[in-house]
Structure 1
Amino acid sequence: MAGKPKQMSQIKQLIRLYQSGSGIKTIARILGMSKNTVRSYLKKMADGGFNTEELLKQEDPLLEKSFHSGNPAYKADKFEYLKSRLDYYEKELKRTGVTKQLLWQEYIESDPTGYSYPQFTYHLRQQLVSRKGSMVMEHIAGDKLYIDFSGKKLHYIDRSTGELIACEVFVACLPFSDYAFAIAVRSQQTPDFLYALSCCLEAMGGVPKAIVPDNLKAAVIKADKYEPVLNQSMEDFANHYGTVVVPARSARPKDKSLVENQVKMIYSRVFAPLRNQQFFDIHALNQAINTCMVKHNQTRMQQKPYCREERFLSAEKSTLDELPSERFELKYYAELKVGNNGHIYLQRNKHYYSVPFTYIGMKVKLIYTRTMVSIYCQGKQIAVHIRSYRENAYTTVAEHLKSEHQAYKKRSHETYLARAREHSPEFHELMQVLFKRARYPEQLYRTCDGLFKLKRDFPVEEFDKACKYVLKNKLYTYYFFKNVLENGIANSEEEPLVKDALPEHANIRGRAYYASSQPTHFDQPKDGLGAQ
């Protein structure tokens, strides 16, 4: 077996001793080498025609290359042949069913004197590794925020059912300081995802210039290497916080490698410490996660004289943009048609919202959040409502209705009495007596509407006489009032239809009489009839 190459510092000493006229034995003795080793280096100098002065000026790596030019195997024809086909083998490996063993068999058939299978796989592996080289990224403070979801899940127990509820774990980090954040949410759907992201920005106390997610459905509709299509809710979120979204390339985890590394560390620094603990709601689970993350960010980083939190507070937090005054609310969009009743129907909550009656039959656009509903038509906001979660109910603004509909909805005892007072005292008195009757309000309102119609159809004097006549006879029906007006009964001198009540008198038997004279069910028949 060939000996290990000598250090180039010793070879330079060999050259200097040779220049001074020392022999092979002397050089071998002084440097502790064998005579054959000294002789081989001197032979390489002679065969290569090297200038000793130039050799002494070279740095050790260049001098080593002069004496050890490499393995002759890499200069053989079979290596050149294999090298020319490595690109082809790399492409073939991506095809279904193609293995390294199959490629080697094809290679040996084309070159029977070629490399063995271990040598073949070694050269092919070197080819693949060289293709996967990575670049060192230089990160700028406050520039980007990498976000991802962990593959594994945490759980809490439902108190009422005992069911184990799985939670997704949202993870984010700022690449400059590697400051990390984690929170558990119920799913990866858009509302939970954007809620976790807003909590992250609030915890960090600022907004980075760009957010880098992967291509999850909650953020990206269509993944593309050059121009991915973002979810509209994600765009609304970015606009609210004054940042941009730059999704990582599909199947390129190295685009956000630091957050991928954070996920691995969180498995050991969050998942492992909490593995034997039980939680009964997601808030308690997140409190425990936060405690672990504070400890993680305060742990001294390897090969660095600081922890993540120190680096973040000293050099990065001040570079983040300010948070907006209000937290982001997820917006939903819909396009609906206004119904004949002047309302649109929001299917999500099964609730009706009013719009001005002039837009009946037109299509309008809705933008609604958890708390508000805004309605637009032809680029103009036509209505705003507080969102209601009552099913099959109506939210109506009175100004949106037609005038007659507004009047109908405003009906009350007070409105009818005020209108009657404006007409005459007699009509007002009649209305007061009418509303004292024990009848359903809708029935009274209809009677009042009928009386107001009669007021419009007959002269004021006749109408007031009819009011007095009705009050005197105590018959407060619409038809009686109408009959009095049409037949002119109030103008006649006839006696009232209803006589005065009988005067008080002593001819009253009283309760005691009936109590003593009525038989009870215990009385037996006196004549035996009916006896059994």
Structure 2
Amino acid sequence: MPYQRGRTALAGKALVEGAVKIVYSRIYAPLRKEVYHTLAELNIAIKVALEAHNSQPLRGRNYSRRLQFEEVERQALAPLPALRYEFKRQHQATVMKNGHVCLGIDKHYYSVPYRFIGRKVKLLYSRTNVEVYYHYERIAMHRRIKSPYSYTTEKDHLASTHRFMTEWTPDKFLEWAASIHEDVRLYILKILDRKQHPEQAYRSCIGILSLARKAGNERLASACRRALGYGVYNYKTIQQILENKMDSYEDSLFADELPMPSHDNIRGENYYK
């Protein structure tokens, strides 16, 4: 059997090499001395030569390749796929409590139906699309967006849309923040209000509120108070204020000279050197 398979492979190889030789002599040879100024011109010339080759009667036969295709092969063709083939990679992730999964390579978050919260899913992603599968069932599909730390959200996926209560809700975050300080509650409220869907803000909220355990309630309140003055609302701002001990600065006439946390829209003086 191995010997027979080897003979079959060699026979197929010979047929392919023969076809390449024929195409070389019938298409490449007549065109090689011509000059084409665009790829479109070359493709048109190749198409004309190919059609002439397919319409030429086969040696010892009363039909051509084109005639055989039309009468025998065309009816056996299956329709082409609706979508063009794209190379895909895969990534494993767990659906977070905000109803999103993170595609690690881009650090971008995509929504899935809320009933899959806590489930392990597979992401298949190509250059243009991201598909999310659970047990071989596709549960979500999004256009691929490469902006890091951003969200792509379909409204019908979200728990809040379906009045479904999870462990994370805006009211619970505001209640937690109020137990620390009113300034913390105001800052969390700003974060929630700036997102199109509340679930998109949950990671920032829990990150900020968790800083109270490390820095203490008073320092977190001071950091939120200073960040409210900056008008910048995200976890990284609070983190940088605490790390640089900017929460301990006294408000004064020189407040404008205090260093400001880095922000995506602020390049700084080093950018222009």
TM class, shorter-chain normalised? 0.3 to 0.5
Q: Which structure has the greater CA radius of gyration?
A: 1
Of structures 1 and 2, the one scoring higher in RCO (CA 8 A, sep 6+) is 2
Q: Choose between structure 1 and 2: higher helix proportion.
A: 2
Question: What TM-score results when the alignment is normalised by the length of structure 2?
Answer: 0.47
